[in-house]
Amino acid sequence: MAASGDKVKLLGRSWGCPYVIRARIALELKGVSYDYVVEQLGEKKSELLLKSNPVYKKVPVLIHNDRPICESAIIVQYIDEVWAGTGASILPSDPYERANARFWTGYIDDTWFPALLKIIKVKTEKEKAEALEQSFVGLSLLEETYKKSFEGKAFFGGDNVGYLDIIFGSFLGWVKAIEKISDIKLIDEAKFPLLAKWAERFASVATVKEHVPKTDELVEFFSKVLKDLWNASAPNN
């Protein structure tokens, strides 16, 4: 349970990382004050990061009263539960809805976003077409889910930004960047009208707007940094 004297620290990147964005949005929706510590991209990792996340050695890591919590989806849930008395709930209160939110989180993180990244990582047009098709399949499933359970509501969380909004919405910056890099339209209003309108609403939330990176900045970051890193690594790593 949170107390007024809690010490909260978040280890993250300077900007652009969707997983770090999730934690920052959740903390700020809950009105939690925290210190933000920037970790460097690449092999040079701080002692604090290695100590706090010795298994994956990745950000984000939330450190609450000197105890580390790792993995972005788990961090968002932790924030919601520990600071339950402040702000709107992030996770659904209904057990079935909570289970569904976790299911779609797993699908988005493990299947949909990796396919999305392949659009700009793969070497051949055939691989790109396959990745694009897989991305569209995922968007179709999410459009169907929104229509079935959330149509008429502003967000997946209802009237307020919720868990699935944060999970899916953290990738909107990269969606737009990939659209520009590849000259394609992913969340097309003609194909996915509910998702397109949801994306506009989510992006207009002040806390979200503050942290989702600009499209041109992400395109430049990809061109100058990530493209070379990916080319130097194992295929699709």
- Above 90 in pLDDT, residue 221? no
pLDDT above 50: residue 181: yes
pLDDT reported for residue 47: 95
Radius of gyration over every alpha carbon of the chain, rounded to an integer in angstroms: 18
Average pLDDT of the chain, as a whole number: 92
- Using DSSP's 3-state secondary structure scheme, residue 197 falls into helix
Q: Give CA–CA dist 75/71, Å, rounded.
A: 6
- Confidence tier at 235 by pLDDT (50, 70, 90): very low
Predicted confidence (pLDDT) per residue in 97-132, tens digit:
999 999 999 999 999 999 999 999 888 999 999 999
Tell me: the pLDDT tens digits for 29-39? Answer: 999 999 999 99
Domains of the chain from N-terminus onward: 8-82 (3.40.30.10), 95-232 (1.20.1050.10)
Q: What is the DSSP string of 120-164?
A: HH-SSHHHHHHHHHHHHHHHHHHHHHHHHHTTTSSBTTBTS--HH
Contact 163, 76 (CB under 8 A): yes
pLDDT-based confidence at residue 229 (cuts at 50, 70, 90): low
Burial class of residue 182, CB neighbours in 10 A (0-12, 13-18, 19+): middle
Alpha-carbon 180 to chain mean position: 19
Looking at per-residue pLDDT, the higher value among 172 and 40 belongs to 172
Q: Which residue has the higher pLDDT, 33 or 40?
A: 33
For residue 191 the two structure tokens come to 């194909």
Residue 24: its pLDDT value, please? 97
Q: Please tell me the predicted confidence (pLDDT) of residue 237.
A: 30
